[in-house]
Amino acid sequence: MNKDTPFYFSCPDSVEIQVKVDWSLPVTHDVLFHGLVEEDATAYFYAIIAIHEKEWWPYYIGKVFSQSTSQRHRAADHIARIARLREEYPEKTFHISLGTPILKDMHEVPDSETVDDIEGLLIISNWSEKMINKRKVDRFICTRQISLENTGFSEHLYKRAAYGLFWAGE
């Protein structure tokens, strides 16, 4: 088997979470804080990103559920997180991209468990040594199969990710 071998869900009818996450164009925090990002009202996910060797890379992936991203990023722990990134990577200019989930059933609003599961898959499928996410990398557990597609400005992420039971096709 090689890296180009396609994988398929063993039980495709059992994929409980089928989601597209539509990512916004990256902006700096000052733009986000001035209310100039329309997606702030609909996003459940965000990625703190920067250019590394001419490519966008995620340095942190997070979620919001009961507040907007701009509100969450004013919290002390997020202020400290950005300060840590700027200290560790002083040559980088950090941006934020917001992710709005579009579930298979367009009328479905994600609950907190679904948002948590999607965030976990976003983190583990895009994790690198540069990222400061740690908790979900070490402890991601999900009882449901997930199929995820990143759309919009998603240069910092793999286009597709999935979690569940698979078989390899030849």
Query: Mind listing the pLDDT tens digit for each residue in 60-117?
Result: 999 999 899 999 989 999 999 999 999 999 999 999 999 999 998 756 778 999 999 9
Q: For residue 127, report the phi and psi dihedrals to the nearest 5 degrees.
A: -65, 140
CA distance 118 to 146: 8
151 CB neighbour count, 10 Å cutoff: 14
129-143 pLDDT, tens digit per residue, is 999 998 777 788 889
Comparing 29 with 27, the larger pLDDT belongs to 27
Burial of 105 (0-12, 13-18, 19+ CB in 10 A): exposed
Q: For residue 149, report the phi and psi dihedrals to the nearest 5 degrees.
A: -125, 130
What are the CB-based long-range contacts (under 8 Å, 24+) for 80-89?
81/48, 81/132, 82/29, 82/48, 84/132, 85/48, 85/59, 85/60, 85/132, 88/132, 89/50, 89/59, 89/130
40-52 pLDDT, tens digit per residue, is 999 999 999 999 9
Instruction: Kindly indicate the confidence band of residue 32, based on its pLDDT and cuts at 50, 70 and 90.
Output: confident
Helix (H, G, I), strand (E, B) or coil at 25: coil
Whole-model pTM above 0.85? yes
Six token digits for residue 1: 């088997």
- In this predicted structure, what is the pLDDT of residue 84? 96
% of the chain at pLDDT higher than 70? 96
